[in-house]
């Protein structure tokens, strides 16, 4: 009996222990579930706070390279438009503030482009404030544009990633900085690409330019605007050297037609709204950080890679020639034009008096045949090119360009100083360094 009582007590104790252990397990599970929920909520909150922080504090600089960025930029306008005094605005002010007495504050459109990068650096170097503006489109390798952006960023120059057609963004930038000048270089460049993508020329060179002028005309004070036209406006003109008073009503490409349209548009905004406008007709610009779609650039690439090179001759057997102009000379011309640009005379969309309207050629004044260009490159690279002489297709290219720069020389002392051989040497040095082809060039040099 005693044994049976003991056994009963022991069974009860075991049951109790099992029950307690069960309760403990249930409690532990509940505790675990509760703390997991807490952890999840805390993580979510931190993530939200981080997103908010980065959204407010960082400018839109993604490495996106689509042709047009309007959707993203309208969005970014909305995002960055609020929060005055945000870190983004501070970066913009910092970039655009001049560091010399009476320095300019310049909005450089197309700053991630070839000419834009060089002009931005030169302006910054002499103490002007510069803010870049570029949509980083993929007309040519956007990584080259991003590399130029990094170069500018090392010199405290910020580029806002936006399209000329983004009105809200342009207005926002002018709200933040009362720019004294706009150096407008953003455009769809290239003559041949117009046959593939004509609308891109209309969107950037006409609609984009008009949009910029619409924003600028309404400002008080209005900035002075210097912008890039092109030697291509001379089109089928046969009088040489090309002078500003020659005919420009026979463009040979859509590119040329949009640049010529730009000159007409500039006339209108000057006439109605008092905007000070200077058009610069550049003649085949070349140099370090240049454009991969231009002959001197892809000839270099093709020579190094051993690919055949097409040299164009005109249908009547003449050699194609260009007034190749070194980038440093073009930069001097751009700065000279900015320095002599008078103030706009309108404000808030109303003209108060006549304003300056100018057009200048910026060239080298000594055309060189494409065959000679190739010869210089062969010498610099120490490689013989595989040439194919063919008749120039009807793709918008003109056979010959030659600048008369008397006007630019008279008004701001423009005097080109770099001959093609000297300029190409500097280009090739940059090219082999940038693309890391030094070893290969040297090897090929030894082999030949
Ligand atoms: N390089 C030359 O030989 C030459 C000759 C005559 C005229 N130009 C003119 O000079 C200017 C600069 O030429 P470049 O050789 O530096 O060309 P580029 O293509 O290197 O530079 C133009 C820049 O503008 C940007 N851009 C284009 N459309 C835009 C838009 N809608 N919104 C914002 N950014 C936009 C591009 O991303 C590019 O970075 C252009 O207007 C060009 O037409 C150049």
Coil, strand or helix at 200: helix
- How far does residue 25's CA lie from ligand 1's centre (Å)? 71
Round to whole Å and give the CA distance between 104 and 277.
16
Does 259 score more than 50 pLDDT?
A: yes
Query: Can you tell me the mean pLDDT for 185-210?
Result: 98
- Given pLDDT bands bounded at 50, 70 and 90, which one contains residue 81? very low
* Ligand 1: residue whose CA is nearest its atom 2: 285
* 56 vs 363 pLDDT, higher one: 363
Active site residues: 255
Does ligand 1 come within 6 angstroms of the Cβ of 282?
yes
Rounded to two decimals, the pTM is 0.84
- Given pLDDT bands bounded at 50, 70 and 90, which one contains residue 41? confident
Does 219 score more than 60 pLDDT?
A: yes
Does ligand 1 come within 6 angstroms of the Cβ of 145?
yes
Does ligand 1 come within 6 angstroms of the Cβ of 113?
yes
Does 203 score more than 70 pLDDT?
A: yes
**Ligand 1 closest atom vs CA 116:** 16
Which sequence spans correspond to the domains of the chain? 70-285+326-365+401-418
* Cβ 98 vs Cβ 128: under 8 Å: yes
Asked: is 70-285+326-365+401-418 a CATH 2.60.40.10 domain? The reply is: no
Residue 418 CA to its chain's centroid (Å)? 25
- How far does residue 178's CA lie from ligand 1's centre (Å)? 24
- How far does residue 116's CA lie from ligand 1's centre (Å)? 8
Length of the chain, in residues: 448
Does ligand 1 come within 6 angstroms of the Cβ of 364?
no
Does ligand 1 come within 6 angstroms of the Cβ of 244?
no
Does 22 score more than 80 pLDDT?
A: no
Share of the chain above pLDDT 70, in %: 79
- How far does residue 189's CA lie from ligand 1's centre (Å)? 5
Q: Specify the range with the lowest mean pLDDT, choosing from 41-45, 136-140, 304-308, 348-352.
A: 41-45
Mean of pLDDT over the chain: 87
Burial category of 210 from C-beta neighbours within 10 Å (exposed 0-12, middle 13-18, buried 19 and up) = middle
DSSP 206: I
Does ligand 1 come within 6 angstroms of the Cβ of 114?
yes
Residue 392 CA to its chain's centroid (Å)? 30
For 182, residues 6+ apart whose C-beta sits below 8 A from its C-beta are 106, 107, 108, 109, 212, 216, 223, 224, 225, 226, 227
In DSSP notation, 239-280 reads SSSB-TTS-----SSHHHHHHHHHHHHHHHHHHHH---EEEE
Query: Can you tell me the mean pLDDT for 56-63?
Result: 39
- Given pLDDT bands bounded at 50, 70 and 90, which one contains residue 441? low
Query: Can you tell me the mean pLDDT for 200-208?
Result: 98
Q: For 384-411, write each residue's pLDDT tens digit.
A: 999 999 999 888 888 999 999 999 999 9
Does 158 score more than 80 pLDDT?
A: yes
Does 335 score more than 70 pLDDT?
A: yes
To test the pocket of ligand 1, the residue of 69, 152, 187 to mutate (highest count of ligand atoms within 8 Å of its CB) is 187
Does ligand 1 come within 6 angstroms of the Cβ of 275?
no
């Amino acid at each position: 009996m005693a044994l049976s009582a003991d056994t009963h007590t022991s069974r009860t104790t075991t049951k109790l222990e099992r029950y307690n252990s069960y309760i403990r397990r249930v409690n532990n599970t509940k505790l675990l579930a509760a703390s997991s929920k807490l952890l999840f909520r805390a993580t979510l909150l931190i993530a939200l706070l981080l997103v908010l922080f980065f959204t407010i504090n960082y400018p839109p600089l993604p490495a996106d390279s689509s042709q047009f960025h309007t959707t993203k930029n309208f969005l970014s306008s909305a995002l960055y438009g609020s929060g005055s005094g945000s870190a983004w605005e501070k970066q913009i002010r910092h970039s655009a503030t001049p560091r010399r007495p009476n320095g300019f504050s310049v909005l450089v459109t197309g700053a991630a482009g070839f000419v834009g990068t060089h002009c931005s650096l030169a302006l910054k170097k002499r103490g002007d404030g510069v803010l870049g503006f570029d949509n980083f489109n993929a007309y040519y390798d956007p990584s080259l544009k991003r590399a130029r952006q990094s170069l500018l960023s090392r010199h405290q120059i910020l580029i806002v990633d936006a399209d000329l057609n983004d009105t809200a963004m342009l207005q926002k930038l002018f709200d933040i900085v009362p720019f004294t000048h706009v150096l407008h270089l953003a455009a769809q460049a290239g003559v041949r690409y117009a046959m593939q993508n004509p609308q891109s020329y209309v969107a950037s060179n006409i609609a984009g330019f008009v949009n910029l002028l619409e924003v600028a005309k309404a400002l008080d004070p209005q900035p002075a605007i210097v912008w890039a036209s092109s030697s291509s406006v001379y089109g089928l003109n046969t009088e040489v050297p090309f002078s500003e008073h020659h005919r420009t009503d026979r463009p040979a490409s859509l590119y040329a037609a949009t640049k010529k349209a730009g000159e007409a548009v500039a006339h209108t905004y000057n006439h109605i709204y008092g905007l000070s406008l200077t058009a610069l007709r550049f003649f085949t610009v070349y140099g370090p950080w240049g454009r991969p779609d231009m002959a001197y650039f892809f000839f270099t690439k093709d020579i190094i890679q051993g690919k055949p090179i097409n040299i164009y001759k005109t249908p009547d057997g003449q050699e194609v020639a260009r007034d190749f102009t070194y980038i440093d000379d073009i930069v001097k011309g751009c700065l000279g034009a900015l320095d002599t640009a008078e103030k706009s005379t309108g404000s808030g969309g109303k003209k108060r008096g006549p304003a300056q309207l100018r057009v200048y050629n910026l060239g080298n004044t000594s055309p060189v045949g494409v065959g000679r260009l190739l010869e210089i490159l062969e010498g610099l690279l120490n490689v013989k090119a595989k040439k194919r002489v063919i008749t120039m297709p009807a793709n918008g290219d003109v056979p010959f360009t030659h600048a008369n720069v008397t006007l630019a020389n008279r008004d701001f002392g423009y005097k080109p100083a770099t001959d093609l051989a000297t300029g190409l040497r500097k280009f090739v040095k940059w090219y082999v360094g940038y693309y890391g082809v030094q070893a290969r060039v040297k090897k090929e040099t030894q082999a030949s």
